[in-house]
């Protein structure tokens, strides 16, 4: 792990001492991407802080890789925040991707919501998506 740090998601964005169940660990992968590992529970109260943190990293023009493998809970607002961040990154010409290794709860939400194609767009085969989600 290179340049790892746990980022407390506190402040006026609805995450802080009152929301100790969500966090972000950040490090740099070998390919230079900033890996943001989301931990705990990503819900309505945590999404504003996540959006702020993603915006800070995107402004640095670094490729971002979201790691959802350690999320224990995610609701529709968390999924929406991730999909909106991906759309914004595409509009701004930034690289933002979601790692295919997801936690079981995220895998179920991806399957139930039929959003695999949005999380892992063209260029990656449908078989890879089905296998990763099915394994989750």
Which tokens go with 53? 């943190």
Contact 16, 9 (CB under 8 A): yes
Concatenating the DSSP letter of every residue in the chain gives -EEEEEEP--STTS-STT-TTEEEEEEE-TTS-EEEEEEEEE-TTTHHHHHHHHHHHHHTT--EEEEEEEEEEE-HHHHHHHHHHHHHHHHHT--EEE-S---HHHHHHHHHHT-HHHHS-TTS-HHHHHHHHHH-
Residue 54's pLDDT is 93
The residue ranking higher by pLDDT, 2 or 44, is 44
Of residues 14 and 123, more confidently modeled: 123
pLDDT of residue 12: 38
Whether the pLDDT of residue 55 is over 70: the answer is yes
Q: Which of 26-35, 43-52, 100-109, 126-135 has the lowest mean pLDDT?
A: 126-135
pTM above 0.85, yes or no: no
CATH superfamily of 2-135: STAS domain (3.30.750.24)
Q: What are 58-101's pLDDT values in tens digits? A: 888 889 999 999 999 999 999 999 999 999 999 989 999 999 99
Of 75, 73, 135, which Cα lies nearest the Cα of 101?
135
Quote the pLDDT of residue 2: 39
CB atoms within 10 A of CB 135: 11
């Amino acid at each position: 792990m290179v340049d790892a740090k746990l980022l407390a998601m506190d402040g006026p964005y609805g995450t802080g001492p009152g929301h100790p169940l969500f966090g972000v660990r950040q490090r740099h992968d070998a390919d230079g991407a900033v890996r943001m590992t989301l931990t705990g529970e990503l819900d309505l109260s945590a999404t504003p802080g996540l959006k702020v943190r993603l915006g800070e990293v995107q402004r640095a023009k670094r490729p971002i890789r979201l790691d959802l493998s350690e999320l224990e809970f995610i609701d529709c607002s968390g999924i929406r925040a991730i999909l909106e961040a991906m759309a914004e990154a595409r509009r701004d010409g930034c690289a933002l991707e979601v790692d295919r290794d997801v936690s079981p709860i995220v895998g179920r939400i991806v399957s139930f919501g039929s959003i695999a194609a949005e999380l892992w767009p063209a260029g990656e085969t449908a078989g890879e998506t089905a296998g990763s989600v099915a394994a989750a």
